[in-house]
């Protein structure tokens, strides 16, 4: 044994939350060839988006997007979600850490990035979030994610 033991419901809950936050079904992962696809989503695929939300976001932001006050910010009716799509795409790809303010409340927690998700998957997920929970923002297209990914990539000298 390595000397580390986890017991009780608390440890089990942490383990399950970690799996939900970090794990994704292999079908959600798209290999390098699909990373820069330019699929345009004419209308949000709410079925796929809802499934992706449950797999990647609901553990922290809750099933109805309300977040956890003081810990994880809400995703409903906030400029962080309904504002510039590039900001939301960046957060999903790179993660978020450090203090932020959402709807007048301060948050200072860390969110992991999901750079392994393909452009179409990120677009479906964010389109769902931008059109759910009382939000009525425009959907995000795969090309928007692809463009953002290129802009986020380190520049070679």
Q: What is the pTM of this model?
A: 0.70
Dihedral angle over CA of 30, 34, 39, 45, nearest 10: 0
Q: Are 28 and 121 in contact (CB under 8 A)?
A: yes
Residue 2 inside a domain? The answer is no
Residue 157 inside a domain? The answer is no
CATH number, domain containing residue 105: 1.10.760.10
Q: How confident is the model at residue 154 (pLDDT cuts 50, 70, 90)?
A: confident
Q: How confident is the model at residue 101 (pLDDT cuts 50, 70, 90)?
A: very high
Check residue 2 and give its pLDDT. Answer: 41
Residue 66 inside a domain? The answer is yes
- The pLDDT of 40-49, averaged and rounded, is 62
Tally of domains in the chain = 1
Task: Provide the residue range defining the domain that includes 59.
Answer: 8-152
């Amino acid at each position: 044994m390595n000397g580390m033991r986890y017991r009780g419901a608390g440890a089990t809950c942490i383990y399950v939350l970690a799996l939900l936050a970090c794990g994704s079904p292999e079908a959600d992962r798209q290999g390098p060839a699909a990373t820069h696809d330019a699929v345009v989503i004419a209308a949000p695929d709410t079925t796929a988006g809802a499934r992706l939300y449950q797999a990647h976001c609901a553990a922290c932001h809750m099933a109805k997007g309300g977040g956890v006050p003081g810990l994880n910010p809400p995703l409903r009716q906030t400029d962080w979600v309904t504002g510039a799509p590039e900001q939301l795409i960046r957060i999903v790809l790179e993660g978020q850490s450090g203090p932020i303010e959402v709807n007048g409340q301060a948050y200072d927690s860390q969110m992991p990035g999901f750079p392994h998700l393909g452009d179409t998957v990120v677009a479906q997920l964010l389109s769902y979030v931008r059109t759910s929970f009382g939000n009525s923002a425009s959907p995000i297209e795969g090309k928007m994610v692809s463009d953002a990914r290129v802009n986020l990539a380190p520049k070679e000298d």
